[in-house]
Amino acid sequence: SNELTQPPSVSVSPGQTARITCSGDALPKRYAYWFRQKSGQAPVMVIYEDSKRAPGIPERFSGSNSGTMATLTITGTQADDEGDYYCYSADTSDDYREMFGGGTRLTVL
């Protein structure tokens, strides 16, 4: 399958832990990446190669990939973390394709 599935929305209270999941058949064999997009802005990489934080990303962001599901976890969520989060992976086999999940809107209530 060439699809990555994310929940459309996740809501948390400030200071709580937010978890955004991404499921797909390609994930056991390929790295997952996470991007955040704030309204009117270009996306920014948050997590690369499953669990590595991109430069400048706070330590409260972490990633994991187990089996067919990748998870982005934000511990101690802050209002500034609101935005749309997209997972991404690539299948570089003979049938090359790159794919984004549908995106998850994170709301900090």
Partner 1 sequence: VQMVESGGGLVQPGGSLRLSCAASGFSFSTYWMTWVRQAPGKGLEWVASIKEDGSERHFVDSVKGRFSISRDNAERSLHLQMNNVRADDTAVYYCVAGGWVWGRGTLVTVSS
Q: What angle do CA 27, 82, 103 make, to 5 degrees?
A: 35
| 54 forms part of the interface with partner 1 (CB under 8 A) | yes
Q: Of residues 53, 64, 82, 102, which one binds partner 1 by CB under 8 A?
A: 102
**Least separation, in Å, of the C-beta of 98 and partner 1?**
4
Q: Please, which contacts does 77-82 make with residues 24 or more away whose CB atoms are closer than 8 Å?
A: 77/12, 77/13, 77/14, 77/15, 77/16, 77/17, 77/18, 77/106, 77/108, 78/14, 78/108, 79/14, 79/108, 81/18, 81/36, 81/106, 81/108, 82/38, 82/106, 82/107, 82/108
| 101 forms part of the interface with partner 1 (CB under 8 A) | yes
| 107 forms part of the interface with partner 1 (CB under 8 A) | no
* Residues of span 2-31 touching partner 1 by CB under 8 A: none
Q: Of residues 37, 51, 62, 73, which one binds partner 1 by CB under 8 A?
A: 37
**Least separation, in Å, of the C-beta of 72 and partner 1?**
15
Given the rule CB under 8 A, which residues bind partner 1?
A: 33, 35, 37, 42-45, 48, 54, 84, 86, 88, 96-103
